[in-house]
Amino acid sequence: MKNFVLALAASLLLTGCAFLEIEVPPRPAPAYAPTNFKGDARLPSDIQRVAILPAHGGDVADPESAAALDPVLLTALQRQVRFEVVTVSREDCRRLFGSGSVRSTDALPPGLLEKIAATYAVDAVLFTDITVYQPYRPLTLGFRAKLATARDVRLVWAFDEVFSGGQAAMLTSVQDYYAGTDKSAAMDVSSAVFQSPTRFGAVAADLMFRTLPPR
């Protein structure tokens, strides 16, 4: 009888272990690693404060969709703790430059960076363009960003990449990101993240700003 009880306990223990192994989902692929970026090997020591301009949606994203990504980009940038971040609102951008946002590839008005530097006491300015905005499956976002010094107008970092929810690597990145910030989203990534441009954008923006030059 004693041997039977021990055998039963061992069987239950093994069954429990097998059940736990089934419950832990395997990583579908390595996490996504952006490749289309370039910048200084190290962040210049004199860049301590950076102004982030509103995201420019252009003909790709309507004003409401672009504005919804502003706090997403701000949070992702602050998470990197590279420098102090100063926000330029769409209202201030319109008052200063006549437009709610500025495209990074447009010819900048003369003295624009100097004006931002003087108004906000910053050392550099970050531009972000939304290059792709597909809010339905596969949810897809494209970001182009540039960090330029305000004093001598020099590019310190540039990024241009498209993130697609149809990529297995992005599924892994979504799981990794929300496992550390939002357990509920990590448990149901398909419904909680891949149907929300802002939640998906949080992962894309985090991946983008990780490529900034280190200190």
- What pLDDT, on the 0 to 100 scale, is given for residue 107? 86
Q: How far is CA 192 from CA 16, 64, 91, 188, in A?
A: 29, 20, 31, 6
Could you tell me the CATH number of the domain that includes residue 73? 3.40.50.10610
| Phi, psi dihedrals of residue 148, rounded to the nearest 5° | -125, 140
Q: Is residue 192 part of a domain?
A: yes
> Please, are residues 211 and 34 in contact by the beta-carbon 8 Å criterion?
yes
Sign of CA dihedral 62, 37, 52, 196: positive
Give me the residues paired with residue 142 across strands: 132, 162
Is 29 within 8 Å of 164 (Cβ atoms)? Answer: no
Q: How many CB atoms lie within 10 A of CB 103?
A: 16
| Total number of domains constituting the chain | 1
pLDDT cut 90: percent of the chain above it: 70
Q: Distance between CA 195 and CA 24 in Å, rounded?
A: 23
Question: Is 27 inside a domain boundary?
Answer: no
Domain of 129 in residue numbering reads as 45-209
The per-residue DSSP string of the chain comes to: -HHHHHHHHHHHHHHHHHHHHHHSPPPSSPPP---SEEE-SS--TT--EEEEPPPB-TTTS-HHHHHHHHHHHHHHHHHT-SSEEEE--HHHHHHHHSSS---TTSPPPTTHHHHHHHHHT-SEEEEEEEEEEE-SSSPEEEEEEEEEESSS--EEEEEEEEEETT-HHHHHHHHHHHHHH-HHHHHTHHHHTTT-HHHHHHHHHHHHHTTSPP-
Domain assignment present for residue 121? The answer is yes
In a domain, 198, yes or no: yes
- For the ranges 14-23, 161-170, 184-193, the lowest mean pLDDT is seen at 14-23
Instruction: Report if residue 136 sits inside a domain.
Output: yes
Percent of the chain at pLDDT above 70? 82
Whole-number pLDDT of residue 50: 98
Residue 35 lies in a domain: no
Dump pLDDT digits (tens) for 52-93: 999 999 999 999 999 999 999 999 999 999 999 999 999 999
What is the rounded CA–CA span in Å between residue 68 and residue 7? 59
13 inside domain: no
Position 1 in a domain: no
Confidence class of residue 184 from pLDDT cuts 50, 70 and 90?
A: low
The predicted structure's pLDDT at residue 4: 42
